[in-house]
Amino acid sequence: MRYTAFEYILYNSLRSGAIIALAFGILRKKSRFSQELTAVLFVLMTGVWVASSAVGLYFLHRYNIGATIEVLQSIMLLVFMCIAIKDNLGKLMFIFFMLYTVGGLVSIAGKFIEIQIWPVQAYYAYSWTATIGLLLSILLILLPFGLAIYYDACAIMGKEGESAVWRYCWLIPATFYLFWLQGMYGKDETAMQVSEKLSNILYMLAINASAYLIYHMVMRMIIDHNHLLQARAENQALTVQVTQFKDLRERIEDARRTRHDLRHHVAVLQNIAESGDKEALLKYIDEFRKGHRLDEPIVYCENATASTVLSYFAHMAADENIVCDFRFNMPAEVGIDKSDLAVMLGNLLENAVQACKRQTFGARRIKLRGGLQEGGMIAFIIDNTTDVEPKLGETGLLRSTKHEGYGIGTDSVRSIAERYGGMAEYNYEPGMFHASVMLYPTEVENSNV
């Protein structure tokens, strides 16, 4: 052995630390703990990686299980990442495999550079020349690749998308990760022999360049999809506001007509009262109340966004003879984004109205209960009658009744709830569908501190 323990630690700390530092830069805003504690965990992750490499080198080298050690290290690092970062597991795996594959290219390219400059020293494995070669590789390869990945990955970290998408997208970088394992350990050559050949370096470079193009397209598609979802939510909110304005204008016109015709109504009521026909009097009053929508509240709660959405769907339900019972306690200011609140209520109430419209028998009802609870938690339950049992997929997601595949609306609600540290559940019992949502607005506030 022609290298010292210090040289070994320096080389492996740089090798693992560069990739882990890049991962920290991308993921830090989604940390489960404080920024300081998360940084400590990432440093600890680097130390564990270096220690596990040392175990493999000094105690297990005779067994020729380099690929197994790499896989175990990958699992270990992924577990560390899941402990430190609070986000969708599929998204974390996507970023992890993407960075790990680039790290593999940086390692063999660094050794290739060392062989070209210091061919004798290169065979001493972890001498100081290996660290310099690795540093040059980081500057030439990791820096441009890393910056490109950093900007794309940071963009998707702020986009929830559909959780079902991330369940499968991580398979793309995982496939390239397997290509990298095959390129490193699938041949009858040592890592040194692989690093000696320019063809191997070019092969790995081509694999990574092709992989990044695919990653870039996938991430851009997810970002664009989120933009479309946001535009859809904004359009829905605008539609709700326009409808609410029309509804308010109609109420004003009704009030004007009612005031104008008030003397006629008074005359009719007086005649009925003088005749002593109590049943006719009650019937006239009931028809008057229904005709002028006196039983329907204009404002459902102090929160303008929630009240507008509830009023919109109450009006839609009334047109379909669906009875609505909304009791929603939401103050004017609450720690949740207005569009998130509108999307959650809008998607669930729209599904409830559509389910009631498809109902072929029995009374049709929608019931909403909940709002802001003690301690800052927001929780509400929406129940609607239905005579069709919803279908659940293998992953527990609701299947859409409008198209093949999973319901976009219900999955969006679940994603928003998870982002606020909560959850969304859907249950069915004969004749009734239940949607319950619970979230903690402070979870998002704390994560942005």
pLDDT in tens, 131-172: 999 999 999 999 998 899 998 888 887 665 555 677 788 899
Supply the CATH number for residue 446's domain.
3.30.565.10
335 in a structural domain: yes
Mean pLDDT in residue range 222-233: 73
Mean predicted confidence (pLDDT) in 237-259: 62
Q: Is 70 exceeded by the pLDDT of residue 68?
A: yes
Residue 191 falls inside a structural domain:
yes
Kindly tell me if the per-residue pLDDT of 190 is higher than 60.
Answer: yes
* 335 and 213 both lie in a single domain: no
Number of domains in the chain: 2
Whether residue 250 lies inside any domain: the answer is no
User: Mean pLDDT for the chain?
Assistant: 80
**Which of 231, 246, 265 is a domain's end point?**
231
Using one digit for the tens of pLDDT, what is the confidence trace for 17-41?
999 999 999 998 888 888 889 899 8
pLDDT at 270 over 80: no
The answer on pLDDT for 322 being more than 90 is: yes
Domain of residue 316, residue span = 298-449
* Model confidence at 180: pLDDT above 70: yes
191 and 51, same domain (yes or no): yes
Secondary structure of the chain in the HEC alphabet? CCCCHHHHHHHHHHHHHHHHHHHHHHHHHHECCCHHHHHHHHHHHHHHHHHHHHHHHHHCHHHCCHHHHHHHHHHHHHHHHHHHECCCHHHHHHHHHHHHHHHHHHHHHHHHHHHHHCCCHHHHCCCHHHHHHHHHHHHHHHHHHHHHHHHHHHHHHCCCCCHHHHHHHCHHHHHHHHHHHHHHHCCCCCHHHHHHCHHHHHHHHHHHHHHHHHHHHHHHHHHHHHHHHHHHHHHHHHHHHHHHHHHHHHHHHHHHHHHHCHHHHHHHHHHHHHHCCHHHHHHHHHHHHHHCCCCCCCCCCCCHHHHHHHHHHHHHHHHCCCEEEEEEECCCCCCCCHHHHHHHHHHHHHHHHHHHHHCCCCCCEEEEEEEECHHHCEEEEEEEECCCCCCECCCCCEECCCCCCECHHHHHHHHHHHHCCCEEEEEEECCEEEEEEEECHHHHHHHCC
Asked whether residue 61 is domain-assigned, the answer is yes
Residue 204 confidence (pLDDT): 82
pLDDT above 90 for 248: no
Question: Given 176, 205, 231, which residue is the final one in a domain?
Answer: 231
